[in-house]
């Protein structure tokens, strides 16, 4: 238990009664915060022994000389570990949704849909079918959307026209820039084997 031996107890009294202002993480504040207490506020051992998933992020930062503006302290803010482990706040970008334009060949105007609303391809395709009053059929890796006049395609980040359904849903959501419902011979070309 290195650090437990308080050789500078007399020091501590002085520091303990000294009022300092400032945020934890600045030199002054580190002293104020650690002055009144044990120097090892959160030793790595104690963090590990606690064994809880979420809090290992809160390591002792007392010895960091160029710390982040706010030091992470074990057990602060005092939130139950259950809550820490189970609340996953969404990032800001998810607030507005991922709206992409949807064009259909021959339609007078385009539509827009929010990809975030759908949990996967089946829901998306069903939504498109409802929106445009058509059938898209089932996806197969080999033959695309067989048995349908229409094939859903999308333009990806590189500007290429891709068939909807090849890549995992999450990857699709982040790379899809706009949707295009293709029909007729063009569609068959897309769906055919390469």
Partner 1 sequence: MCLFQSVMNYFPEEVLEHVFDFLTSHRDRNAVSLVCKSWYSVERFSREKVFIGNCYAVDPERLIARFPRVRSLTLKGKPHFADFNLVPHDWGGYVYPWIEAMAKNGINLEELRLKRMVVSDESLELLAKSFPNFKSLVLVSCDGFSTDGLAAIASNCRFLRELDLQENEVDDRKGQWLSCFPDTCTSLVSLNFACLKGEASVAALERLVARCRNLRSLRLNHAVPLDTLQKILVQAPQLNDLGTGTFVHDPDSDAYCKLKNAIKKCKSIRSLSGFLDVNTRCLPAVYPICTNLTSLNLSYAPGIYSSELIKLICHCKKLERLWILDTIGDKGLDVVASTCKELQELRVFPSDLYGVGNAAVTEEGLVAVSAGCPKLNSLLYFCQQMTNAALITVAKNCPNFIRFRLCTLDPTIPDAVTNQPLDEGFGAIVQSCKGLKRLSVSGLLTDQVFLYIGMYAEQLEMLSIAFAGDSDKGMLYVLNGCKKLKKLEIRDSPFGNVALLADVGKYETMRSLWMSSCEVTFGACKTLAEKMPRLNVEIINEGEQIEASPDDRHRVEKMYLYRTLVGPRRDAPDFVWTL
* DSSP bridge pairs for 150: 183
| Sole binder of partner 1 in the list 52, 135, 140, 174 (CB under 8 A) | 52
Binders of partner 1 among residues 9 to 28 (CB under 8 A) are: 9, 12, 16-17, 19, 21, 23-24
Residue 133 CA to residue 45 CA, distance in Å, equals 63
Distance from C-alpha of 173 to C-alpha of 66, rounded to nearest angstrom: 39
State the CB neighbour count (10 A cutoff) for residue 85.
12
- Give the whole-angstrom CA distance, residue 76 versus residue 59: 11
Distance of closest approach, residue 112 Cβ to partner 1, in angstroms = 13
> Of 126-134, 140-148, 167-175, 184-192, which segment contacts partner 1 by CB under 8 A?
126-134
User: Which 53-82 positions form the footprint of partner 1 (CB under 8 A)?
Assistant: 54-55, 57, 68-70, 72-82
Q: Which residues 6+ apart lie within 8 Å of 116 measured at CB?
A: 94, 97, 98, 173
> Which residue from 63, 65, 87, 170 is in contact with partner 1, where contact means CB under 8 A?
87
Residue 78, token pair as written in the block:
């005092």
Size, binding site for partner 1 by CB under 8 A: 66
Contact predicate 173/98, CB 8 Å: yes
Interacting residue ranges for partner 1, rule: CB under 8 A: 1-2, 4-6, 9, 12, 16-17, 19, 21, 23-24, 29, 32-33, 35-38, 40-41, 43, 45-47, 49-52, 54-55, 57, 68-70, 72-90, 94-95, 114, 116-119, 123, 126-127, 130
């Amino acid at each position: 238990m290195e650090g437990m031996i308080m050789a500078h107890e007399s020091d501590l009294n002085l520091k303990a009664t000294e009022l300092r202002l400032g945020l934890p993480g600045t030199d002054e504040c580190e002293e104020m915060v650690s002055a009144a207490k044990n120097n090892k506020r959160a030793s790595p051992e104690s963090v590990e022994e606690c064994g809880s998933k979420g809090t290992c992020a809160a390591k002792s930062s007392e010895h960091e000389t160029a710390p982040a503006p706010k030091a992470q302290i074990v057990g602060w803010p005092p939130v139950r570990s259950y809550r820490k482990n189970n609340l996953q706040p969404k990032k800001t970008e998810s607030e507005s949704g991922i709206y992409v334009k949807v064009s259909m060949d021959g339609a007078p105007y385009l539509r827009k849909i929010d990809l975030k609303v759908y949990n996967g391809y089946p829901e998306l395709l069903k939504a498109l079918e409802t929106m445009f009053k058509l059938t898209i059929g089932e996806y197969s890796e080999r033959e695309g959307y067989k048995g349908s006049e229409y094939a859903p395609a999308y333009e990806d980040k590189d500007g290429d026209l891709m068939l909807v359904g090849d890549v995992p849903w999450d990857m699709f959501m982040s790379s899809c820039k706009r949707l295009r419902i293709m029909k007729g011979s063009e569609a068959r070309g897309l769906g055919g084997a390469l």
